Structure 1
Amino acid sequence: MTNLDGVFRREWGPTVAALARWSGDLTVAEDAVQEACAEALRSWPGDGIPDNPGGWLMTVARNRARDRLRRESVRPGKELAALKSYLDDIRARTDRSDPHPVRDDELRMMFTCAHPALDRPSQLALTLRLVSGLTVAEIARALLQADAAIGQRITRAKNKIRHANIPLRVPPAELLAERTPHVLGCIYSVFTEGYWSTAGPSAIRDELCDEGIRLAVELCALMPDEREAHALAALMLLHDSRRATRMDDAGMLVPLEEQDRGKWDRGRIARGLDRLRRAQGSPGPYLPQAVIAALHATAPTWEQTDWVTICAAYDRLVGLTKSPVARANRALALGLRDGPEVGLAALDTVASDPRLARSNLVATVRADLLRRAGPPADAAAWYQIALDAGGSEPGRAFLRRRIDECTAGA
Structure 2
Amino acid sequence: MLTFDKFTGINNVVRPERMGKHELAVATNVDIGNTGELVRRDGYKVVDSCCHKNLWQASGHLLATVGHDLTAIDPDGARRVVAPALGSTDRVHYCNLPSGATAYSNGLIAGITDGRVSKAWAIAAPHDVGGTVDMAGQMDAGQYLYAVSYTRLCDGLEGPAVMGPALNVQQGGILFMGLPVLDGHSINVYLSGCGGEELFLAGTTLGDGLCFSAHSHTLQVPARTLGLAPMPVGIYVAFWRGRVLVAQDNVLWASFPNAGHLCDVRRDFKQFASPITLVQPVDDGIYVGTTQELVFLAGTEFDKLAYMKRMSGFVVPGSGVAAPGEKIKLGDGMGRGPAMVCIANGEVVAGFSEGAVASLTGDRYKTDAKAVSATWRETPGDVPQYVALELGTP
State whether TM-score is above 0.5: no
> TM-score range, shorter-chain basis?
under 0.3
> Which structure has the higher relative contact order (CA within 8 Å, separation 6+)?
1
| Structure with a larger share of its residues in helix | 1
TM-score, structure 1 as length reference = 0.23
Which TM-score applies when normalising by structure 2? 0.23
Q: Which has the larger radius of gyration?
A: 2
